[in-house]
Amino acid sequence: MTIKSVFAGFGGQGVLMMGYMLALTAMRQGKNVTYLPSYGAEVRGGTANCTVVVSDDEIASPVASSPDIAVVMNNPSLLKYANLVRPGGIMLVNSTLVGSVVNRQDLNVVKVPATDLAHELGEDRSANVVMMGAFAQATGVLSLEAFSEALAETNLGKKPKVLELNRHALQVGADSARQALEAARSAASK
């Protein structure tokens, strides 16, 4: 199985860190993985994105022209990726900052107010970690526990207190995504 994910948002939202977390966690789980960030002039305008491919097989291309999953942290990113995600794919949306609506019926859109949740946690910068918790819950690519363990190897886990906060943020994100999915399911069954 090969899953291609893109992460996009403003510079400073920790978008590249999200991709790195996925790539690192996947590597620790024995998966093949590639991580490709946007670079150079592309990132000078204040937007950032990266592509992570996780696979059980050898990875041919680290580029995703039609990703399976898009994680969008701001409105411009939604507009950029809404039409690129493959039919049947997943779109994870930071609903605090994204106002636009995805007009596609063939996508699973999961809305998580990551920026608000991070604020409630008392650490605005942890919105990206909240979103990774939601990613684990909504996509099942890797388990929440795997992410939680891998956190310790990143800059987000260097200090025990910060690590604790970020592990909590992962959980908060996962809970939020579960609620969003359940709400969507019950809405569909009505």
Partner 1 sequence: MARQLMRGNHALGEAAVRAGCRYYFGYPITPQNEVPEYMSGRLLEVGGTFVQAESELASINMVIGASMAGGRVMTSSSSPGISLKQEGISYLAGLELPAVIVNMTRGGPGLGNIAPAQSDYFQATRGGGHGDYRCIVLAPASCQELCDLTIKAFDLADKYRNPVMILGDGMIGQMMEPVEFPEMTDLASLPAKDWTLTGAAGRPQRTILSLLLDPKVLENHNYKLVRKYDAVTLAETDWDTYLCEDARLVIVAFGTSARIAKGAIKRVREMGLKVGLFRPKSLWPFPTKPLEELSRVVRHLLVFEMNSGQMVEDVRLAVNGQAQVHFYGRPGGVVPTPEEIAHQISHYYYGAHLNEDGPSRARLVGGLS
Where does this chain bind partner 1 (CB under 8 A)?
Answer: 20, 23-24, 27, 32-37, 39-42, 57-63, 65
Nearest CB to partner 1, comparing residues 2 and 95: 2
Nearest CB to partner 1, comparing residues 66 and 100: 66
Cα–Cα–Cα angle for 112, 9, 71, nearest 5°?
Answer: 45
Least Å distance, CB 57 to partner 1, is 8
**Contact in structure between 98 and 116 (CB atoms under 8 Å):** no
Least Å distance, CB 58 to partner 1, is 7
Least Å distance, CB 176 to partner 1, is 27
Nearest CB to partner 1, comparing residues 16 and 97: 16
Least Å distance, CB 154 to partner 1, is 10
| Cβ neighbours of residue 131 closer than 8 Å, sequence gap 6 or more | 18, 71, 73, 92, 94, 112, 114, 173
Least Å distance, CB 6 to partner 1, is 14
Closest C-alpha to 138, from 158, 165, 163, 110: 110
Please provide the distance, in angstroms rounded to a whole number, between the alpha carbons at the two ends of the chain.
33
Residue 3 β-bridge partners:
54
Nearest CB to partner 1, comparing residues 59 and 162: 59
The dihedrals phi and psi of 108, each to the nearest 5 degrees, come to: -95, 105
The dihedrals phi and psi of 111, each to the nearest 5 degrees, come to: -100, 125
**Contact in structure between 166 and 156 (CB atoms under 8 Å):** yes
Nearest CB to partner 1, comparing residues 27 and 184: 27
